[in-house]
A and B are shown apart, each in its own frame.
Chain A
Amino acid sequence: MSKKTKDILKSVGTHVLIYAVLLITLFPILWMVLASIEPQQSIINQNAHGLLEFDATLRNYISIFTEYDFLKYTKNSLIVAFIAVALSLVIGLPCAYAIARFKMRKSSVIVLLVRMIPGISFLLPWFSIFSQLGLRNTYTALILSHMLVALPYIVWIMIPNFESIPVDLEEAACIDGTNRYGAFFRIALRLTTPGMITASLLAFIFSWNNFMFSIVLTGRNTVTLPVAIYDFVSYAYVDWGGLMAASCAITLPIVVLALLLQKYIISGLTAGAVKG
């Protein structure tokens, strides 16, 4: 066998292997999409027909927005995630900047430790404190708890970003008449936009996905999407089509973000693994 045919065979093998792995990885997600447009009758008689032999329908999607009020849950999820990320940026960015500029190494360790604390340690005290303050069933409690998810990501990702800005640039700005706060706002924040996108994206995704804090702190009016999906199965009869349509609806925004902004998400997820 010549070297050329060997190379071609190897390349074909690589492609087959990679796309096979990809198919396995995506199979559950594809199955979710498939079941979401499948009538209940056909889902519960999987044996009786071929994989794709069913009358595709949008009824499941229509029913989650008409019978189950998913519009409201989506709105709740968006409000909580957006405000939690925004507030986390407001308090997290200056904090990350100070840690980077004043070389507060110990504080950066605290940020990591915060990320490690098991969420279950907060559930009981938050539940009882927020109940006593009358804050259960309000956005406030949810937003505060989701900030705990968002803040560590933002600070953790922004510290190296701020460290990478040359101090000279800020000093030059100070000589030109702005003070150190001006340097922060006008120089540091502007030069770290990609880092901020990464941090906000990850914070948003993990707030959007959060289940443990939400299931404890939501009340009737503040149910977020993961909690709503969970509630789908708490009855004896499971509307699988509707459940899968709801799962698609909650996953879709994340899929779009991942496809459009994969570079940022990967750099955020792997932050800390690769230096420099």
Chain B
Amino acid sequence: MRRWFDRHMKLVMVLPALIFIVLMIIAPLAYNFSYSFTDWQMSLVKAPKFIGLQNYKEILHDERFLNSVWRTIVFSSIAIVVETILGVALAVLINRKFHGRRVVQALMLLPVVATPVAMGMVWKLMLEPSIGIANVVVEALGFQRRAFLATTGFESMLWLIIIDIWEWTPMVMLMVYGGLQTIPLEPYESALIDGATKWQTFTKITLPLASSSILIAVLMRLIDVIKTYDIIYATTQGGPSFATETINIYGYLNMFAYYRFGKAAAISVLFFIVVMAMGCGFLWVKSKVEVEY
């Protein structure tokens, strides 16, 4: 018995995690997949009815779903571009000499680790049209009061993007800052001797040498940003009149607000495929980047 344990150590060590993964991940995913071919509404008691690809057909002609896809793309791309540019700029900034580095770093970390639902509520209060601080500021500056998250146009989406940027730019900053610290001093010294300008040093030395950490920060954000849920659900629940509804929110509402389980399952299957395709792309790029080390 003991010898068997010794010989199969690999299996013994991995088995508990493997069982967990099968029971909590693979089986549910398979269930979810099978639900997506059924008409199953309202009730857990009433059995689902097989309807083939009907749900998928319905979704692809559902304007609300297509809008949510579009919104997810807009939300993710704007957030990622701004977070990357800001994150790199801030990383370069905190790479300079200054007093209080430890404290500043720890405090900058707070938006990343603070509970998103709580942060969503704070933003909701600040942006609340009638009592929030934002409108006090807007009026003091001599502008018309605004509705912020309560607008049906693009403005509400824009504010959610701003919240996401506030929340995640510090993480990009910290990751890029970590990359900056691995750059040796020599290239900078020779650039100084050759009389390179600051901008040249930045684009020709800093950016290329930090590029792998920047790229990985971007890819990490990419995986998470399209799944953004907490902040949106806490502030707008996708409203007003669907103005901030992303795929994640629409899928969730179909499950637990409209109880259209079959349709919701189909939405989450499509979403799963997109996210995993992006994830595999991420792994591929990451492996390419790491070869250069």
Q: Chain A: residues with CB nearer than 8 A to chain B?
A: 11, 14-15, 17-19, 21-22, 25-26, 28-29, 31-32, 35, 43-47, 90-92, 94-95, 97-99, 102, 104, 107, 109-110, 112-129, 131-132, 144-145, 147-148, 151, 155, 179-181, 184, 205, 208-209, 211-212, 216, 225-226, 229-230, 232-233, 240, 243-244, 246-248, 250-251, 254-255, 257-259, 262, 265-266, 269-270, 272-275
Contacts and interface: CB of A to CB of B under 8 A. Distances in A.
B114 A91 contact: no
Interface string B21-36: 1001101110110010
A14 B17 contact: no
B109 to A, nearest CB: 5
B290 to A, nearest CB: 7
Given A46-B133, A121-B271, A90 B16 contact: yes
Contact of B94 (A18, A211, A225): A18
Contacts of B35: 124-125
B211 to A, nearest CB: 12
Given A43-B125, A246-B118, A270-B171, 8 more contacts: A25-B107, A45-B131, A90-B16, A151-B17, A211-B233, A251-B119, A258-B106, A269-B112
A47 B138 CA distance: 12
Given A46-B131, A275-B293, A211 B269 contact: no
A25 B24 contact: no
A264 B106 CA distance: 11
Nearest to B9: A180
Contacts of A91: 16-17, 20
A270 B87 CA distance: 13
B204 to A, nearest CB: 22
Contacts of A208: 115
B251 interface: yes
A272 B32 contact: no
B64 interface: no
* A contact patch SS: helix
B96 A14 contact: yes
A22 B252 contact: no
Nearest to B118: A247
A181 to B, nearest CB: 7
* B contact patch SS: helix
Interface in B92-118: 93-94, 96-99, 102, 104-118
Nearest to A107: B14
B70 interface: no
Nearest to B179: A274
Contacts of A104: 10, 14
B14 A273 contact: no
A91 B136 CA distance: 52
Contacts of B16: 90-91, 94-95
A122 B280 CA distance: 20
A95 B18 CA distance: 9
B74 interface: no
Nearest to B125: A240
A270 B67 CA distance: 34
A92 B19 CA distance: 12
A269 B174 contact: yes
Contacts of B234: 211, 230
Nearest to B230: A211
B153 interface: no
Contacts of B182: 274
23 contacts: A11-B98, A18-B94, A21-B108, A29-B111, A35-B122, A45-B131, A95-B14, A97-B13, A113-B276, A115-B223, A117-B275, A119-B227, A124-B32, A124-B255, A125-B27, A125-B32, A144-B24, A147-B20, A180-B6, A209-B113, A230-B117, A244-B122, A266-B105
Contacts of A19: 104
Contact of B132 (A46, A123, A127): A46
Given A97-B13, A129-B28, A212-B230, A120 B90 contact: no
A120 B44 contact: no
B268 to A, nearest CB: 5
Nearest to B114: A251
